[in-house]
Amino acid sequence: MSDILEKIATYKRTEVAERKPAASLSALEARITKVSAPRGFQRALVAHKQPHSLSLIAEVKKASPSKGLIREDFEPATLAAAYQAGGASCLSILTDAPSFMGHESHFVAARNAVTLPCIRKEFLVDVWQVAESRSLGADAILVIMAMIDDALAADLIAAAHAYGMDALVEVHDAPEMERALKLASPLIGINNRNLRTFDVDLKTTEDLSAMVGPQHVLVAESGIFTPQDVARLEKTGATAMLVGESLMRQGDVTQAAKNLLTPA
């Protein structure tokens, strides 16, 4: 595991141990009955795919370990509504505080401001977090293969599906892809960011996409800045892209999303 993922996994286990006593599974399940039903994350990505472009998962991202503070003027509900107006198919909202300056309240505010399906962008190390995610309204969860073993990945996906959510299974290299393809989720994300060096290379999606068949829905993640990048990734057979920094750094994120979605 990379140093940053090791560090995040360590504090995440502590966070979960501290939070669990305040919210038992039955308490979370009572909350789940009060949130709106899952909105169909994967379905929206497939339905909105346009020729010569990719469906957009637009990320609400204030800061990151690789870039520090990305956006000072940060209002999750306003940004979410602006992304929806710009043509995003889904949203990704970070809830991790120590590394990304995220918060659960950002997720709730952003999802309540839109009709789009939303993935809770969180580092999952315990099945309890899947119920917690649904209780916040999450329509999908993230499963990072570099961070967990196959048994936990399978349990996270099974729990997500039991709640009607989708699971985006994230990989960065061929061994992780081989593991991911044996799991029960058809939604595969290829992260172009190397989490050891923080280098970003779109060639990662180009190389690993050859391992994915038509039964899977492919998402290219990280380092996507221009319509030329989108055109390049569309040739890999990807259905969608996950974009944070390049949109978050622009004042008008509606226009930024529209520009990215306009074929080169």
Q: Is 65 in the site for ligand LARABZUK (CB under 6 A)?
A: yes
Span 186-215, contacts to ligand LARABZUK by CB under 6 A: 191, 195
Contact 158, 126 (CB under 8 A): no
* Residue 36 beta carbon to ligand LARABZUK: minimum distance, rounded to whole angstroms: 25
Q: Is 217 in the site for ligand LARABZUK (CB under 6 A)?
A: no
Span 108-127, contacts to ligand LARABZUK by CB under 6 A: none
* Residue 29 beta carbon to ligand LARABZUK: minimum distance, rounded to whole angstroms: 29
**In whole angstroms, what separates CA 176 from the centre of its chain?**
17
Q: Is 40 in the site for ligand LARABZUK (CB under 6 A)?
A: no
Count, residues in the chain: 264
Other CB atoms within 10 Å distance of the CB of residue 142: 24
Q: Is 221 in the site for ligand LARABZUK (CB under 6 A)?
A: yes
The residue among 42 and 222 lying less far from ligand LARABZUK, judged by its C-beta, is: 222
What is residue 239's DSSP assignment? -
Total binding residues for ligand LARABZUK by CB under 6 A? Answer: 17
Which residue of 242, 253, 256, 261 would you call a contact of ligand LARABZUK, by CB under 6 A? 242
Which residue of 39, 48, 61, 232 would you call a contact of ligand LARABZUK, by CB under 6 A? 61
Q: How far apart are CA 173 and CA 80, in angstroms?
A: 31
Q: Is 59 in the site for ligand LARABZUK (CB under 6 A)?
A: yes
* Residue 54 beta carbon to ligand LARABZUK: minimum distance, rounded to whole angstroms: 13
Contact 218, 190 (CB under 8 A): yes
Q: Side-chain half-sphere of 31: how many Cα atoms within 13 Å?
A: 15
Q: What stretches of the chain show up as alpha helix (H) in DSSP?
A: 3-19, 25-32, 41-48, 76-85, 104-112, 128-135, 150-162, 174-181, 203-208, 227-234, 245-248, 253-261
Q: How far apart are CA 65 and CA 105, in angstroms?
A: 21
Q: Which two tokens stand for residue 47?
A: 């339905």
Contact 178, 211 (CB under 8 A): yes
The residue among 32 and 70 lying less far from ligand LARABZUK, judged by its C-beta, is: 70
Q: Which amino acid is at 126?
A: D
Residue nearest to ligand LARABZUK (CB): 244
Contact 225, 206 (CB under 8 A): no
Which residue of 11, 66, 127, 227 would you call a contact of ligand LARABZUK, by CB under 6 A? 66
What does the binding site for ligand LARABZUK look like in residue numbers (CB under 6 A)? 4, 59, 61, 64-66, 191, 195, 221-224, 242-246
